[in-house]
Amino acid sequence: MSELESNIKRINDKLQRLLRLYQQLQKDNDRQSRLIKELQETKDKNTLTIAELQQQAGILKASTGQMNAEDKKIFEKHINQYIKEIDKCIGLLSE
């Protein structure tokens, strides 16, 4: 085999290795992207669950009368926001 042929073969082998490595990296990248998406969805669900549980805890505190002044202010703020949203919905429905 001539020197030129051996250089071409060596370059070809390296290109084949690079191609396999590139394909593997693409697969890894796709897998990582899917994992990131799944984790983000799980995080969003958990955030919603936490918010709901905090609301439930606030309602339980209010119903048992065990709220301190700061908790009462926060609870009243949430109630006022709900009232505003309800008034807004009623306004839109009456149009």
pLDDT at 4: 87
pLDDT at 47: 96
Whether 29 contacts 49, CB under 8 Å:
no
Q: How many helices (H) and strands (E) does the chain have?
A: 2, 0
Taking only the tens place, the pLDDT of each residue in 33-88 is: 999 999 999 999 999 999 999 888 888 887 887 778 887 888 888 889 999 999 99
pLDDT at 53: 94
Prediction pTM value: 0.58
Burial of 75 (0-12, 13-18, 19+ CB in 10 A): middle
